[in-house]
Amino acid sequence: MSSISSNKLVIETVDLVKMYGPHVALEGLNLKLESGAIGILGPNGAGKSTFFKCILGLITTTSGQGKVLGYDIKTQGDIIRSRIGYMPEYDSLDPELTAIDQVRYSGELIGMNPAHATQRAHEVLEYVGLKDQRYRKIETFSTGMKQAAKLACALIHDPEILICDEPTNGLDQRSREFMLQTLRNTVQQGNRTVLMSGHVMDDIQEVCDSIVMIYKGKIVVHSRIEELARQVDEEIEISVWGGSSRMQESLESRGLSVRRLGRIIRIKVESEDTISVILECAVESGVQVRKMGEYEPDLEDIFLLIMDKLGAEVKTTSDLMTSEHTGGTNND
Ligand SMILES: Nc1ncnc2c1ncn2[C@@H]1O[C@H](COP(=O)(O)OP(=O)(O)OP(=O)(O)O)[C@@H](O)[C@H]1O
Ligand SMILES: [Mg+2]
């Protein structure tokens, strides 16, 4: 299980800025990442891939500083890349090569001698579940097999840090689970640091113990996953019978923030009086409150709540929770 902070600092950035022409992709990131499993979460265009490319020294940064394992991202990219495995989001494989040649080649590219690269290629292809397919050409591979092959390429030199940019992208449930299990093994048994990005919490929470949320090039949350619930407001969840939209109106007319999914209504706790206000509203709108309790949001919901607060263009929880917004039927 996750260990408490005896972890060492592996990545550090100070006011890191990356612009593409006039477009600000990273707006002054200040980040200290310790060894372990870290999820980089954010909607499309947030800057996740840009962040990875900057710390790998693959693109020039506009201003600010960064260090990976103590090496400077501006001047020591070569050393950094020899210590980090990188699984990019794009298809980086040569369809003409067999898996074994592809993986061995990626080792040779970073300076491994051919014999060692070959031996390691066999090992890592087995590790990612491609032992039986290693002599097949990449062009015959499914998306899941290609993602696994990309991971094998990233692991060829047994890196201290593994960076995976959306490793579960396009995978079906079985390949997804296998990929996540492999990443978990890399952290827990291999004792490596893993940074993985994604735009849903589900995948990240299966591997990571801390999380960095990026939104429009800024870090909005950096927290251990188990402490994430503290980042959002407390809510009371009630289940009502007979007129839930009337109940919603009544609550909102009293100035409460409400999210509703059919008969389930979640109300932000404003004060100690919130419960009595809810009960008054129930009487006023003639509904029965069947259940009432503190709402324990799951991590996906927390992510959506935070993004919602920031006004992101992700599907918001209020969209998800209120049927009127989607033009669906009211489940009264
Ligand atoms: N080479 C480039 N030239 C110009 N703009 C770019 C370039 N690469 C990225 N951008 C822009 O920078 C911003 C951040 O992009 P980035 O690819 O880092 O986001 P991301 O979080 O990885 O998104 P996704 O989830 O879609 O992969 C986006 O607005 C994107 O359009
Ligand atoms: Mg990306």
Residue pLDDT, tens place only, 183-199: 999 999 999 999 999 98
Residue ending a domain, among 230, 245, 261, is: 230
Is residue 237 in a domain? yes
Is residue 3 in a domain? no
95: Cβ–Cβ under 8 A, 6 or more apart, which residues?
137, 138, 139
Amino acid (one-letter) located at 121: A
Q: What is the CATH number of the domain that holds 298?
A: 3.30.70.100
Q: Are residues 280 and 197 in the same domain?
A: no
Q: Are residues 194 and 243 in the same domain?
A: no
Q: Are residues 103 and 163 in the same domain?
A: yes
Q: Are residues 128 and 238 in the same domain?
A: no
Is residue 290 in a domain? yes
Q: How far is the CA of 44 from the centre of ligand 2 (A)?
A: 7
Residue ending a domain, among 230, 257, 276, is: 230
In contact, 168 and 198? CB cutoff 8 Å: yes
In contact, 71 and 55? CB cutoff 8 Å: no
Is residue 94 in a domain? yes
Q: Are residues 275 and 163 in the same domain?
A: no
Q: What is the CA radius of gyration of the chain?
A: 24
Q: Are residues 252 and 115 in the same domain?
A: no
Q: Are residues 48 and 120 in the same domain?
A: yes
Is residue 178 in a domain? yes
Is residue 331 in a domain? no
Q: What is the CATH number of the domain that holds 92?
A: 3.40.50.300
Q: Which of 17, 20, 27, 89 to mutate to test the pocket of ligand 1 (most atoms within 8 A of CB)?
A: 20
Q: Are residues 225 and 264 in the same domain?
A: no
Residue 224's φ and ψ, nearest 5 degrees, are: -70, 145
In contact, 322 and 261? CB cutoff 8 Å: yes
Q: Are residues 152 and 289 in the same domain?
A: no
Give the ligand at the shortest distance from the Cα of 25.
1
Q: Give the strand pairing for 84-87 and 235-241.
A: unpaired
In angstroms, the Cα distances linking 17 to 14, 27, 38, 155 are: 9, 5, 21, 29
Q: Residue 310 has which token pair?
A: 């920031």
Q: Which of 23, 29, 219 to mutate to test the pocket of ligand 1 (most atoms within 8 A of CB)?
A: 23
Q: Are residues 190 and 305 in the same domain?
A: no
Q: How far is the CA of 32 from the centre of ligand 2 (A)?
A: 21
Sequential pLDDT tens for the chain (332 residues): 444 456 789 999 999 999 999 999 999 999 999 999 999 999 889 999 999 999 999 999 999 999 999 999 999 999 999 999 999 999 999 999 999 999 999 999 989 999 999 999 999 999 999 999 999 999 999 999 999 999 999 999 999 999 999 999 989 999 999 999 999 999 999 999 999 999 888 899 999 999 999 999 999 889 998 888 777 788 999 999 989 999 999 999 999 999 899 999 999 999 999 999 999 999 999 999 999 999 988 888 888 778 777 765 444 433 334 333 333 333 44
In contact, 37 and 194? CB cutoff 8 Å: yes
Helices (H) and strands (E) in the chain, counts: 12, 14
Identify the pLDDT of residue 227: 86
Is residue 1 in a domain? no
Residue ending a domain, among 200, 230, 260, is: 230
Indicate which residue's Cα is closest to atom 1 of ligand 1.
Answer: 20
Give the number of domains in the chain: 2
Q: Are residues 199 and 259 in the same domain?
A: no
Identify the pLDDT of residue 329: 37
Identify the pLDDT of residue 312: 54
In contact, 156 and 120? CB cutoff 8 Å: yes
Range of the domain at 261: 233-326
Q: Are residues 306 and 198 in the same domain?
A: no
Pocket of ligand 1 (CB under 6 A): 20, 23, 25, 42, 44-50, 89, 199
Identify the pLDDT of residue 289: 94
In angstroms, the Cα distances linking 321 to 121, 136, 236, 242, 304 are: 48, 47, 14, 18, 11
CA angle 310, 327, 241 (to 5 degrees): 90
pTM, entire model: 0.82
Per-residue burial over 273-306, b if 16 or more Cβ lie within 10 Å, else e, is: ebeebbeebbeebebebeebeebebebebbbbbb
Identify the pLDDT of residue 175: 92
Q: Which of 49, 216, 313 to mutate to test the pocket of ligand 1 (most atoms within 8 A of CB)?
A: 49
133: Cβ–Cβ under 8 A, 6 or more apart, which residues?
99, 141, 145
Is residue 284 in a domain? yes
